[in-house]
Chains A and B, each alone.
Chain A
């Protein structure tokens, strides 16, 4: 089954404790992206990657890192999480610049 898999789905952590949200797709998609969703703000892009070893900042990259060492994986790294990074995070992928396939989301709470 074609899918984008994110882990963990839910996480409660404390300020400053490094965490990684993994994202993996099994569709051989070149393009991958991370979004955060906050009430009233819709979707905001954090980082995106056009292909392996190619990443670019989105609209809200501060406090986040990503890597794209292989086509299927695109982890999101929070080196020192802060409460303002409490949000619902989505990973997405697409074959070209067409429709996106989204993961089920990762709800992060930073205390």
Chain B
């Protein structure tokens, strides 16, 4: 079965330190990969996506993610964390660019940035 894993329920980082939120996937074909963020009591917001090309993609709020095909991973990173980055982060994968392919979602990772 196709799946997306976010192996950490929660990640704690001190403000100013680099952060990584992990995502691995198991899907067939060439996937399209997304990261979304959910702030408390808000809807999800798109952060960034990988479709093709450079494995390092940059997105909103200073976030970036690296696509690693051999490790089937798409980890979210930021060089210097801010307290305001504290939120719930979701990785999502679309198995291909076919209209029948719906997004497969990870369970989410709660990111806590401590001052």
Contact = CB atoms under 8 A, between A and B. Distances in A.
A-B complex is real:
yes
Interface of A: 4, 33, 40-45, 48, 50, 58, 90, 92, 97-105
A45 B102 contact: yes
B44 A99 contact: no
Given A42-B107, A99-B49, A90 B34 contact: no
A102 B43 contact: yes
B108 A90 contact: no
Interface residues of B, number: 21
The SS class assigned to the A binding surface is: strand
Contacts of B101: 97
Interface in B33-49: 34, 36, 41-46, 49
Highest count of chain B CB atoms <10 Å: which of A4, A100, A105: A100
Contacts of A58: 102
Nearest to A3: B43
A33 B105 CA distance: 14
A41 B41 CA distance: 17
Interface in B4-52: 32, 34, 36, 41-46, 49
Highest count of chain A CB atoms <10 Å: which of B42, B44, B46, B90: B44
